[in-house]
Structure 1
Amino acid sequence: MSISNYKTGVISPEQFIAEHSFAYIIKGEMQLYDGEHNHLLRSGEFGLARKNRLVRFKKEMINGELEKVFVFFDEPFLRKFQEKHHPTITNFPPGQTIIKLPENELLPNYIQSLLPHYDHGLIAEPFKELKREELLIILLQASPELTGILFDFGIPQKINIEAFMNQNYHFNVSNERFAFLTGRSLSAFKRDFRKVFHDTPGRWLVQKRLQEAYFLIDKQHKKISELYLDLGFETLSHFSYAFKKHFGFAPTELTRHK
């Protein structure tokens, strides 16, 4: 299931990008946050999210719709493409999670060519692989440097756990994800985490998020309803319970004293 299109659909709450993901916005807007930068894709714009990265999605409807096309380039497909087309591999600068691609006159027609083949939000067989291959050829013709990303089949290497966690603590993903992204097994991640932070990942994450929540409410006057998801809490009730348990009073009491 590699190509999908949704109208008034909900973007997956999963904030880990498992496969290189191409997004084209037909109608509406999509906001993406990668831990450092905010990105905005408007109608007619498109970009590529790199695999093994953390990204938070927000959507904006136009007339009640967000219409978009997602195409996922998984490793088996990319290896087959490489064997068939033998693209020249170039270097791509590290760091970028969201790559906003340049205008391409072929893409609007390509997107329109997909629409007749949709069946319940998915591209019907046997067109799926053919259309995915066509898209990748279009992208590489316009941006050949993407080969340095797409055909790099390595896994994340061991990195500085303190810097990574301080940048990404607000993403709602499991310890297994954090371990993988820092280039560690789960046991090594927990061991190294305790050495650096003198606490377990679970307790540290909750405390870090709650401290940020207190600052945002107290100093920046943020609304509770606007921040709990951005800080990695799944529900408002979960956030409120954790906040009261940690500080001794509900977050609403903090706002009432403003």
Structure 2
Amino acid sequence: MRTIADDTRTNILGEQFIPDHVFIYLAKGAIRVFDGNKSHTFKAGDACIARKNRLAKYELLDSKEGFEPILFCFDEPFLQEFQKKHGSEQTYVASTDTFIKIPNSDLIKSFIKSVKPYYKGVMQLDEAFEDVKYEELLIILLKSQPGLAAVLFEFRKPGKIDLEEFMTRNYKFNVSLNRFAYLTGRSLSSFKRDFKTIFNDTPNHWLVQKRLEEAYFLIDKKNQKSSDIYLSLGFEDLSHFSYSFKQSFGMTPTELTDKKKEASR
């Protein structure tokens, strides 16, 4: 069962790896997304495709009207079946963006309105209408933006890419080494071996140190609080972050802040 959702704390907000292509429509609220290269802000009425096999961070923005996204996850079996049925061709060069904005249109608005009667439970579609509505949405998307075919119907696994560039850009993402290996087109053993050759360090140690160095910079130079940055830097627990920070720099984030204040007097 594929699902859509409009809950204020949807699972996708907690995900940093996008396993399937996702159509996102914001019925209410606003969200900021970051993919390691670019930041995008989407507001009520905006729609986009979040590409599979990408990393992303999501930040809910304050909104009096609440937050209501509508999500459609296009998994590979459905897309392959759709392509066989409709014969969609990849005649365009695929976009490299993680988030591809979908232009506002009457077709999209009418479709979103038409889905409402079929909501069931936590934003699941009634099974009797599920495939029909997914197919309808995909036809609308390809009609309004034919270039999406090159993105949606690309079924190859990620190829081997520049490991140093990828890790330097994506070290803040809190995902497993298996995931990093997959996204760089390597087995886990090959990833660790190449990593050691390039960085002369183990992935786990390098990731922690890189994140801590960034934390020190943000606290020391940008006057940010540890409680505001530890999650965005890939740490799951504030106390563990503070402990690791002290192990590396001989002082806790709070002590660094106090030291700065004392020096400025």
Fold shared by both chains (TM-score > 0.5): yes
Q: Which amino acid aligns with 1:57?
A: Y
Q: Distance in 2 between matches of 1:93 and 1:8?
A: 32
What amino acid is the match of 1:3? Answer: T
Deviations 1:28-74 (A, max 9, x none): 01111000110111000010111111011111253362111111111
Cα gap change, 1:94/1:25 in structure 2, threshold over 3 Å: closer, same or farther? closer
Whether the aligned pair in 1 keeps the contact of 2:21 and 2:74 (CA below 8 Å) is yes
SS of alignment partner, residue 2 of structure 1 = coil
**SS of corresponding position for 2:71:** strand
Q: In the alignment, what sits opposite 1:95?
A: 96
CA contact (8 A) 1:30 1:40 kept: yes
Whether 1:163 and 2:165 are equivalent positions in the alignment is yes
Q: Which runs of 5+ in 2 are unaligned?
A: 261-265
Q: CA RMSD in A?
A: 1.3
Give the Cα–Cα distance (whole angstroms) in 1 for the partners of residues 200 and 95 of structure 2.
31
* C-alpha contact 2:94 2:148 (8 A) present in aligned 1: no
With 1-10 and 190-199 compared, the bigger mean Cα shift is at 1-10
What SS does structure 2 have at the residue aligned with 1:25?
A: strand
More helix by share: 2
Equivalent AA in structure 2 for residue 119 of structure 1: K
Q: Which residue of 2 aligns with 1:9?
A: 9
TM-score normalised by the chain length of structure 1 = 0.96
Q: Which residue of 2 aligns with 1:49?
A: 50
TM-aligned CA deviation for residue 80 of structure 1: 0.6
1:152 matched to 2:151: no
The structure 1 segments of at least 4 consecutive aligned residues displaced by more than 4 Å after TM superposition are none
Cα separation, 2, equivalents of 1:84 and 1:190: 42
CA distance in 2, matches of 1:66, 1:10: 10
Percent identity reads 50
Q: Name the aligned partner's letter for residue 163 of structure 1.
A: E
Task: Tell me if the contact between 1:29 and 1:43 (Cα under 8 Å) persists in the aligned partners.
Answer: yes
State the alpha-carbon separation in 2 of the partners of residues 10 and 144 from structure 1: 29
Amino acid at match of 1:8: T
Query: Which is further off, 125-134 or 180-189?
Result: 125-134
The alignment status of 1:186 with 2:174, answered yes or no, reads no
Query: What TM-score, normalized to structure 2?
Result: 0.94
Match of 2:198 among 196, 199, 202: 196
Amino acid of the structure 1 residue aligned with 2:255: E
Q: How many residues align?
A: 258
- The letter for the 1-side match of 2:75 is D
DSSP-derived class of the 2:66 partner: coil
**How many angstroms apart in 2 are the aligned matches of 1:15 and 1:72?**
15
Provide closer, same or farther for how the CA distance between residues 246 and 41 of structure 1 changes in structure 2, counting only shifts above 3 A: same
User: Which residue of 2 is the match for residue 127 of structure 1?
Assistant: 129
Mapped contact 2:95–2:151 kept (Cα < 8 A): no
